[in-house]
Structure 1
Amino acid sequence: MSVPKFANVPHSFHAELKKRIGSYFEEVGKSTTGDYPIFMKAVILMVTFMVIYVHLVFFTPGVVMQILESILLGGVVAAIGFNVMHDGAHGSFSKYKWINSFAALSLNILGGNNFMWNVKHNVIHHAFTNVDGVDDDIDIQPWMRMSTTQKKYRLHKYQHIYFWFLYSLLYIFWIFVLDYQKYFKSKIGSMPLKKMKLSDHLVFWGFKVFHLFLFVGLPIYMVGFTSWLISFLIFTLVAGLVLSLVFQLAHTVEHTAFPMPHETTGKMEDEWAVHQIKTTANFATNNKLVSWLVGGLNFQIEHHLFPKISHIHYPAISKIIRQACQEYGIVYIEYPRVRYAVASHVAFLKQMGRAA
């Protein structure tokens, strides 16, 4: 499939949004990046991670405490991904490039690779959201069907039931399988991977080895194989489920669109910004605890339109974007509570499992 092209519209909706958002930041005199507020959040999450890790590995807690701490570790790892790595990878964590790069490297420490993530997420997913055949985030075939353009198998009839288990496997599969597939195939889905420099190769392998030492070798040496396996499975399954749910609730729900380019011209019907709004949904934006934990990714519309703006500003700019959508007659998709978004995702999966 060739790379789709978006409609080139004079006086585009995106241009109007950028004008209004730019005016807002000029008026309030704030930087678009996170800086000190997000630094404090990063410190809290990193310190919490280190305390739990050290206690599990070096102090051998009892079984009940081990399980509880492993569950908490999974949640903290996901939160670091949402709050530190994600903003860093988008260049919105700080106004200093080296700090953004350092924040993005947290993904490598946790087993992923920021080079692969940048191509998969920043380049492909953010440009071609929900476009089947291009957006790798909706390619879970043959295990799940996320669009009517994908082939349907009998097992998809039950995907709204077994998705909990599959989503839990995301983290393990990501760090032990998917990164290596991308690396050796030199492509993500149907899209070619950007050429890696020598430093990219060294970072890839160096951090993969470091991760194995930190999360496999050292813990097994300190607490034994069985104890390690219990904690490792619990924390990775929890992290995988949380990571999957947050990203899927943003794009694969009942009201989001899955547009395809014209068969002959390869052009999309809408301009890029309108496409982003039609394919993206917000959830629980009035819940400050949820917003804090998921790094503002419940404001997914704002994030997709302005990924270079830190998530700490999303509540403010969402009012501007919502008003603009109302003026231009564009539907702003939002679920007021997490459970409503989850219910819509389950309904969507059921629909995809049964629709022609």
Structure 2
Amino acid sequence: MQLKFTNTTRSAFFATVRQRVDGYFKERSLSTHANMAMWIKAGFFLGGYLLLYTLILSNQYGPWTMLAMAVGLGAFAAFIGFNVSHDALHGAFSSQGWVNRLLGSSFYLLGANPYVWKITHNVVHHTYTNIPGHDEDIEIAPGLIRVDVDEPVRSWQRFQHWYAFALYCLASLSWVFRKDYHKFFKQQIGQHDNSTHPQRQYIMLFATKAVYYFFFLVLPYLVLDISWWQVLIGFILMHLVEGLILGLVFQLAHVVEGTSFPVPTEGVGIEEAWAIHQLRTTANFAPRSAVAAFFCGGLNRQIEHHLFPKICHIHYPAITAIVKRTAHDFDLPYLENSSFFSAIHSHYRLLKKLGRRADVSAA
């Protein structure tokens, strides 16, 4: 069904919070884009990634040391995705489009395609957050993980709170070898018409994938004094680490206790404003943790990100109080888990609850 948001209560929440956030930047004469601290952080993650890759290819270390560096490389890839690619692909890193495009290309370092990501994430996920049948980001592993109460139940989902975390490890491997191709050639994503793409993007999809496979599978085999199966183990372990970090952080923002998965009303859609919908479907975690803010690229403050995706995440700590206060002023929910581990526990409990319902239905 075609879906639209209808502000039936005539809420002025979004206009008010936007005015207050705009006022914060104007009063301090601040840009909403990256500051020096953001550039330093981007340099740290990009530099760390390139350093680890160079050290591995130097062939100066033993297999176990190279394996440990492959683990670090997977972690740095995920952190580049959070801290550099994500902001740039939203146009939040710089006021200059070419800078955002250049830094957005860092997404290729993850083995992922930025063009496909902008469609599935920027357009679809950010518009239709947590709406079954529209937001495909909540289709974590169809048939294996159940987060939609209207989804057909399967008996094995009673164990999903255990095996889900193992499946998250496969997220980036799926991205590299399957997901980008599948999404690119899918005719429709939610209600977004995905049937046509610029010719250049067909070339970019296959060319950049081939380059990635060469630099991370072929070249290591050619230059390192290890066998093909050792190269493969390092590649897989790198992506298992990358996938686990990516999978966990994304799930903790939308699939935890308290977040809703609204079903559109036939012929009406969602009977509330888009911004209020974001508050009901999104949660923060570890909002007072400087460590989480540094490594997660502001994704621990997803509420602020979903309301203001074009503001660089380096500013989220400053505007969090404004958004939270405004939500309370309008008697609206503001969901947050105090720590990373409390968010994981909440995610675990929700999966267990939904799995238990599947267990009861299958009995």
- The yes-or-no answer on 1:310 pairing with 2:305 is no
Q: 1:219 to 1:328 in 2, by over 3 A?
A: same
User: Is residue 2 of structure 1 aligned with residue 2 of structure 2?
Assistant: yes
Instruction: Name the amino acid aligned to 2:214.
Output: F
Distance 1:235 1:328 in 2: 45
Give 2:205's aligned residue: 204
SS in 1 for 2:147: coil
- SS state at 2:310 partner: coil
The change in CA–CA distance for 1:273 and 1:194 in structure 2 (over 3 A counts) is farther
Read off the aligned partner of 1:326 and give its amino acid letter: H
Q: Answer whether contact 1:7 1:271 (CA < 8 A) is retained.
A: yes
Q: Kindly provide the CA deviation profile for residues 263-322 of structure 1, in whole angstroms up to 9, marking residues without a partner as x.
A: 2x2321221111001100000111101110010100000000000000000001000011
Greater shift after overlay, 43-52 or 124-133?
Answer: 43-52
**Aligned twin of 2:255:** 252
- Conserved 8 A contact 2:2-2:191: no
Shift of the alpha carbon at 1:74?
1.1
- Residue 76 to residue 109, structure 1, CA distance change in 2 (3 Å): closer
The equivalent residue for 1:41 is 41
Could you tell me which residue of structure 2 aligns to residue 164 of structure 1? 165
Of the structure 1 ranges 295-304 and 59-68, higher mean CA displacement relative to structure 2 is found in 59-68
- Specify the code of the residue in structure 1 equivalent to 2:213: L
**Could you tell me how far 1:347 is from its partner in structure 2?**
0.3
Deviations 1:100-158 (A, max 9, x none): 01111111243111111001000000001000000011113111101212121111110
2:341 to 328, 339, 342: 339
* Residue type of the alignment partner of 1:174: W
1:180 aligned residue: 181
Shift in alpha-carbon separation, 1:192–1:143, aligned structure 2, 3 A: farther
Q: Distance in 1 between matches of 2:150 and 2:256?
A: 16
Gaps of 5+ in 1: none
Aligned to 2:280, which of 274, 278, 281? 278
CA distance in 2 between partners of 1:322 and 1:50 (Å)? 38
Name 1:326's counterpart in structure 2: 328
Q: Is the 8 A contact 1:252 1:345 kept in 2?
A: yes
User: What amino acid sits opposite 2:173 in the alignment?
Assistant: I
Check conservation: 1:12, 1:271, Cα contact below 8 A: no
> 1:36/1:109 Cα in 2 relative to 1: closer, same or farther (>3 Å)?
same
Equivalent residues of 2:5, 2:272 under 8 A apart: no
Indicate the residue corresponding to 1:225 in structure 2. Answer: 228
State the secondary structure of the residue aligned to 2:127: coil
Q: How does 1:1-356 map to 2 (within 5 A)?
A: 1-7=1-7, 10=10, 12-139=12-139, 140-188=141-189, 191-193=192-194, 195-223=196-224, 224-263=227-266, 265-355=267-357
- How far apart are 1:17 and its partner, in Å? 1.0
Counterpart CA distance in 1 for 2:188 and 2:154 is 26
In 1: Cα distance, 2:3 partner to 2:142 partner: 20
Structure 1 counterpart SS, 2:42: helix
Q: Deviations over 1:204-255 (max 9, x none)?
A: 1221111111111111212231221121111100000000000000000011
* CA offsets 1:149-175 (integer angstroms, 9 cap, x no match): 212111111010001111000000111
Query: What is the CA distance between 1:5 and its match in structure 2?
Result: 3.2
1:60 positional shift: 4.8
Q: Distance in 2 between matches of 1:60 and 1:190?
A: 52
Q: Which moved more, 1:321-330 or 1:36-45?
A: 36-45
1:192 is displaced (CA, Å) by 2.7
Q: Alpha carbons of 1:227 and 1:245: their partners in 2 closer, same or farther (altered >3 Å)?
A: same
Whole-Å separation in 2 of the counterparts to 1:208 and 1:321 = 40
Report how many residues are paired.
355
* Runs of at least 5 residues in structure 2 that lack an aligned partner in the other structure: none
TM-score normalized by the length of structure 2: 0.94
Q: What is the CA distance between 1:39 and its match in structure 2? A: 1.7
Counterpart of 1:231, as a letter, is G
- TM-aligned CA deviation for residue 11 of structure 1: 5.4
More deviation in 64-73 or 20-29?
64-73
| SS of 1:282 mapped into structure 2 | strand
Partner deviation per Cα, 1:310-341 (whole Å, 9 max, x = no partner):
00000010000110111111121111111100
2:66 & 2:109 partners in 1: Cα distance? Answer: 22
Does the 8 Å CA contact 1:2/1:266 hold for their aligned counterparts? no
TM-aligned CA deviation for residue 12 of structure 1: 2.5
What is the one-letter code of the residue matched to 2:322?
I
Deviation at 1:344, TM superposition (A): 0.2
Q: One-letter code of the match for 1:276?
A: Q
**Identity across the alignment (%):** 37
How far has the Cα of 1:194 moved from its partner? 6.1
**1:197 & 1:211 partners in 2: Cα distance?**
22
